[in-house]
Amino acid sequence: MKLVHISDIHIHPETILDHDPVANFRACLAYVEAHDADADAVVISGDLTHRGDAESYRMLNDILAASPLKPRLMIGNHDIRGNFIAAFPGTPRDDDGFIQWTETTPAGLFVYMDSVDEGRHSGLYCHRRQAWLQAALARARAAGQKAWLFMHHNPVRVHVANADVIGFANEAELQTLLAANRDVIAHMFFGHCHYSLSGTMAGIPFSAPRSTNHVCWPDFSGVIERMGHGDLAQNYNVCFLEAGSTVIHSLDFGDAAKVRWKIESAAELA
């Protein structure tokens, strides 16, 4: 199964840190349409807008309406549930009104989690949401499926102070739940940090792309107030999910014009 994972598009009518989020998302979407339209799923894992305002959701709706891609939309800490639901009323929700749902795919069960603690930049996965997740994982186990988790916030410390301070407020509690289900969880996908990440948590692999707009630079100084940013390459991830392997590529779509192609002869390949 082929998956395109995009995150932190931050749609906004004005520039953010000297970057145009609308132009950058359009460029990302155009590259996906041209080169990865055969993906079985496209997921945007939150921070759809920068301020959660109705105008920005309308802008996003207009952009997506003109695209052949139909991405699964998740919310992040910069989003506002009510405004998002008003703009995208067809997005599934659980019985408690959280924007989370499951989807059966060729790779297994995709689990889209709502990690937003509205009004705060840090994430929260409350007891009601944990119960929902535990039930979803139990169903996957009973069906012999692998579960692929999508969330906005990083479920583990990434050792960058200004990211870790706005990770999950109940990180240890969530990690206990995830670790208890490591046998069924194949991979965790998230965003939030704005730089490429990969690793494992309790034996569960994870990955994250950068933002499509204002990319951050990982800083290990321990200074919470310090954030590195600049003219850095935006990207999205292309993921190949197979029974015996998970392969993830990072596509710096803005650098595509720099690529030079060489057709090698059979002798060169020998």
Return the pLDDT at 269.
Answer: 67
CA distance 124 to 216: 23
Query: 124-137 b/e with 16+ CB inside 10 Å = b?
Result: bbbeebbebbeebb
If pLDDT is split at 50, 70 and 90, which confidence band does 265 have? confident
Strand partners, 2: 240
Query: 80-92 b/e with 16+ CB inside 10 Å = b?
Result: bbebbbebbeebe
CA distances from 147 to 78, 109, 110, 197, 206 (A): 26, 5, 6, 20, 13
If pLDDT is split at 50, 70 and 90, which confidence band does 270 have? low
Say what percent of the chain tops pLDDT 90: 97
- Per residue in 48-94, pLDDT (tens digit) is 999 999 999 999 999 999 999 999 999 999 999 999 999 999 999 99
Return the pLDDT at 219.
Answer: 96
**Average pLDDT of the chain, as a whole number:** 97
Say what percent of the chain tops pLDDT 70: 99
CA distance 22 to 9: 8
Considering only CA atoms, give the Rg of the chain.
18
- Beta-strand pair 185-189/228-229: unpaired
- State pTM to two decimals: 0.97
If pLDDT is split at 50, 70 and 90, which confidence band does 266 have? confident
CATH match of 2-258 with 3.60.21.10: yes
- Per residue in 144-165, pLDDT (tens digit) is 999 999 999 999 999 999 999 9
- Per residue in 184-240, pLDDT (tens digit) is 999 999 999 999 999 999 999 999 999 999 999 999 999 999 999 999 999 999 999
Contact 146, 161 (CB under 8 A): no
**φ, ψ dihedrals at 42, nearest 5°:** -120, 125
Please count the other Cβ atoms lying within 10 Å of the Cβ belonging to residue 179: 13
